[in-house]
Amino acid sequence: MRPRDTLTDSQEEWQLPVRLACPDITRACDLARALAVLVHHQRGYQLQEWIRQAEQDAPKPMSGCAGFLRRDLDAVTAGLTLP
């Protein structure tokens, strides 16, 4: 979940073959990192777009998580926006 620019060279090398071999893992990792940025930087205004992307083309567990967040969108957005 760490940002890519904080990974060591060996960590990047380890991830590369996995990402190339499995597009679902790649997409899930990318979406998870994007969600972590939303949480870390309190960007609740971007949550609805993240959910749309996850529901559209993410692996089933990730799209299911997005659907769960959508069910309580106002509360989750507030949690990602308010101090």
Dump pLDDT digits (tens) for 66-78.
999 999 999 999 9
- What pLDDT band is residue 56 in, cutting at 50, 70 and 90? very high
Inform me whether the pLDDT recorded for 41 exceeds 80.
yes
What are the sequence ranges of the domains in the chain? 7-79
- Check residue 7 and report its DSSP letter: S
- Cβ atoms within 10 A of the Cβ of 57, count? 13
Q: How far apart are CA 25 and CA 51, in angstroms?
A: 17
SS3 category, 42: coil
Residues 2-27, mean pLDDT to the nearest whole number? 85
Question: What rounded mean pLDDT belongs to the chain?
Answer: 91
